[in-house]
Amino acid sequence: MTSLLRFEQVTLRRGGRLLFEDLDLALHPGEALHVTGPNGSGKSSLIRLAAGLLEAERGRVERSAFALADDRLALDRELPLARALGFWGGQVAAAMDALGIHHLSDVPVRLLSSGQAKRAALARVAATGAALWLLDEPLNALDADGAERVGRIVADHLARGGALLAASHQLLPGTAGTLELAR
């Protein structure tokens, strides 16, 4: 089976500190991995490495087309939400409906609350149709309804043959496997 994300003997060091060494992992269609660990253990760095935003000291990372949601919203703050999401293309209306933010279509991105902005970032990922989702702290700032909606879009994504790598202090619904990073 072809993997959507593969780490082979990957070592990552940041700021002179070893975060992990000789890490092997593979995500195939329909699989999800939840990365846990204390603050500073390398969860976000692992996501950034998977996205190609960091380079491994050693080893190899292979990835398919992906969509990333991290602490950067990646939406034009001055545009109405639907237009800002439209910049990225894809199934914007369906993603906004799935995350319960369609009623915010005409609201400028800069006026969104933290929870609404998190839903918007996740809608951007869901709209892309990318096979691999890389999510850093996807449940931060979300209420119970938001977390439930994220669980549903994750389950749908996995059922359609997508894969997910999520770094979070909170258990993300639909992630069976867990990788614990130590400090």
Task: For residue 162, give the CATH number of its domain.
Answer: 3.40.50.300
pLDDT in tens, 14-62: 999 999 999 999 999 999 999 988 888 899 999 999 999 999 999 999 9
Residue 172 structure tokens? 């993300």
Q: Reduced to 3 states, what is the DSSP secondary structure of residue 86?
A: helix
Minimal CA–CA distance to 50: which of 60, 63, 69, 36? Answer: 63
What b/e string do you get for 19-57 counting C-beta neighbours within 10 Å, with b at 16 or more?
bbeebebbbebebbbbbbbeeebbbbbbbbbbbeebebe
pLDDT over 80 at 180, yes or no: no
Host domain of residue 129: 5-180
- Rounded Cα distance, 158 and 29, in Å: 7
Stretch (H or E) spanning 133: strand 132-136
Burial of 176 (0-12, 13-18, 19+ CB in 10 A): exposed
Sign of CA dihedral 45, 51, 53, 59: positive
Res 147: pLDDT: 93
Q: What is the rounded average pLDDT of the residues 61-78?
A: 96
**Number of domains comprising the chain:** 1
What number is the average pLDDT over the span 155-179? 84
Share of the chain above pLDDT 70, in %: 95
The residue type of 149 is R
